[in-house]
Amino acid sequence: MFDLIVQGGTLADGRIADIGITGDTIAAVEDLSGAEAGLVIDAAGDLVAPPFVDPHFHLDATLSYGLPRINASGTLLEGIGLWGELKQIVTQDEMIERALAYCDWAVSQGLLAIRSHVDTCDDRLIGVEAMLEVRERVRPYLDLQLVAFPQDGLYRDPTARDNTIRALDMGLDVVGGIPHFERTMADGAASLRELCEIAAARGLMVDIHCDESDDPLSRHIEALVFETQRLGLQGRVAGSHLTSMHSMDNYYVSKLLPLMAEAQVAAISNPLINIVLQGRHDTYPKRRGLTRVREMQAHGITVGWGQDCVLDPWYSLGTADMLDVAFMGMHVAQMTSPEEMARSFDMVTTQNARIMGLDGYGIAPGKTASLVVLDAGNPIEALRLRPARLAVISKGKVVSRMPREDAGLSLPGRPDTVRRRHTFG
Ligand SMILES: [Zn+2]
């Protein structure tokens, strides 16, 4: 007797299986014909995947688009300035409400784990307090990992260093930074040295906004890799964005990527935001600005897709759907072979979970009973359709249901409905 059976779904690897759930744990992944359950969800013909994971987001800024004004230039730097204005007027309650509303969107899309950077450049730290409260409120259904992020620069902002340490003392989970925003390259490197030392001393992970720039000489990733090796932080460090790598000298990159692989430094690419922010200073040809995703993967470096922003000072769109993120990423990175498309789906699920160090993630006996049923036949079709999440299960509980999106047709001699499913091969 199971509490819940998800019946007959197709797993990401193509296996067809029933999933038996007891409490908050997957108890069986096999043919469960004849088994009884309190609730049965029919997933025959539908994709059943582990939940989506977003390893890079800003929950303290989300859903604030237009406040107090929109980003006219569309650049990273105006966005940072605009966020500085907004920070002066936003209240803690508003921040909490927007973050909770975003988490509702996320759950409806099967996005059940988010790593969010939290700005620590505020002497009151109201954003930190707000996000700690949100982390507790959503804990029953969404894993929220919080990064102490000195948005205005660990050294460039006079109180950022002290406030970042205070925020970690208050219970933030991960150490963040922004070396390319410090005043000099040397300050950027020094900030990485100190931030990695703080992480090593506290046993924390590191996730740095690193080289989010079109400047090919922005090479802070090199220092991040060096500090990772020096302090024995292998497997616990991620570089987010890494867009300068798009423009770097190829010979230099041929030295850099093996060093990243050796230090087990992961990369998080944020394709929705970077395709609109990068190359803004170019005329034509205009650089895409995305980091070298396929090349890093060829070196065995773990690479994830992150969402970064939804309706905030930097990005005016977004839906909390990680399939939108992967869809954009595979276009910009030209990952269009069947293997690369399947890998793109894997990036917004398993690879992102690995970067965040999530325990109990995946669909197998003994894992946490969190999964999503999609109106698609396989991962590639899910990317193409970005379809309805028919059911979302978090820690054994059904937390969201959504109907299929069939259109009713009125055409002579044609079917009554259309779904746009198409399987080949
Ligand atoms: Zn970010």
Which residues does residue 6 pair with via DSSP β-bridges, in sequence order? 19, 41
Query: Which tens digits make up the pLDDT trace of 408-417?
Result: 999 999 999 9
Cα 24–27–383 angle (5° rounding)? 75
Ligand 1 centroid to residue 56 C-alpha, Å: 6
Ligand 1 centroid to residue 178 C-alpha, Å: 9
Q: At 118, list the tokens.
A: 């939290």
Query: Cis omega before residue 285 (within 30°)?
Result: yes
Task: Give residues with Cβ within 8 angstroms of 425, minimum separation 6.
Answer: none
Interatomic CA distance for residues 375 and 377, integer angstroms: 7
Which residues does residue 393 pair with via DSSP β-bridges, in sequence order? 371, 398
Pick the CATH number of 2-50+362-408 from 3.30.110.40, 3.40.50.2300, 3.40.50.170, 2.30.40.10: 2.30.40.10
R_g over Cα of the chain = 22
Ligand 1 centroid to residue 207 C-alpha, Å: 10
Same fold, 2-50+362-408 and 52-356: no
Residue 77 banded pLDDT, cuts 50, 70, 90: confident
Query: Which tens digits make up the pLDDT trace of 80-92?
Result: 899 999 988 999 9
pLDDT tops 90 at residue 422: no
Ligand 1 centroid to residue 36 C-alpha, Å: 46
Cα 183–187–190 angle (5° rounding)? 160
CB 348 within 8 A of CB 305: yes
In the block, tokens 């040809």 appear at: 285
Question: Is the overall model pTM greater than 0.75, yes or no?
Answer: yes
Pick the CATH number of 52-356 from 3.20.20.140, 3.40.350.10, 3.30.390.50, 3.40.50.300: 3.20.20.140
Q: Where are the domains of the chain?
A: 2-50+362-408, 52-356
pLDDT tops 60 at residue 425: no
What is the predicted pLDDT for the residue at 172?
A: 98
Lowest mean pLDDT among 34-48, 68-82, 172-186, 409-423: 68-82
Q: Which residues are catalytically annotated? A: 212
348 secondary structure, DSSP code: I
